A = this chain, B = another copy of it.
Amino acid sequence: MTTESVSLSSQPPTVVVSPCAACKILRRRCADKCVLAPYFPPTEPLKFTIAHRVFGASNIIKFLQELPESQRADAVSSMVYEANARIRDPVYGCAGSICQLQKQVNDLQAQLAKAQADLLNIKCQQTNLLALICMEMAHQNDEYIM
């Protein structure tokens, strides 16, 4: 199970070509104000096929209609990402990646805590060593004076 890097800062294409990939796959007329068209251009049919296979067209449309236009491109990106994860791993999907990342966070936190404890320990040792050297030097100075 691998965790892909997520990039969610996508922008909708400025030119909308009709019919969009969604309407072509759903075999329906692509209206002027098609809610899917800005995010599913005809050049990327797989993007819609994958999202449709996991969420279903009606759910995708419903989700997009419930969001302001400025957030729709990000919502489509995250849905396509999740759908890809579900197809790659039909049992765990995105939740599998979350489990794996949570485990990695826990491991790293434990390693960091150990490294910080080691650092504190060695710093104490160094302070003691320096104090010893200072004492030794002061002792030698005393001997020279006497």
Knowing A54-B59, A59-B55, A133-B129, the reply to whether A81 touches B104 (Cβ < 8 A) is: no
Secondary structure class of chain A's binding surface, majority of residues:
helix
Task: State the oligomeric state as a number of copies.
Answer: 2
A94 to B94: give the CA distance in the assembly, Å.
Answer: 6
From residue A40, how far is it (CB to closest CB) to chain B in Å? 17
When the two chains form their complex, are residues B122 and A92 in contact, meaning their CB atoms are under 8 A apart? Answer: no
Closest B residue to A66 by beta carbon equals B90
Task: Count residues on chain A whose CB falls below 8 Å from chain B CBs.
Answer: 54
Is the pair A74, B102 in contact by a Cβ cutoff of 8 Å? no
Chain B residues with CB under 8 A of A67: 90-91
**Interface check A3, CB cutoff 8 A:** yes
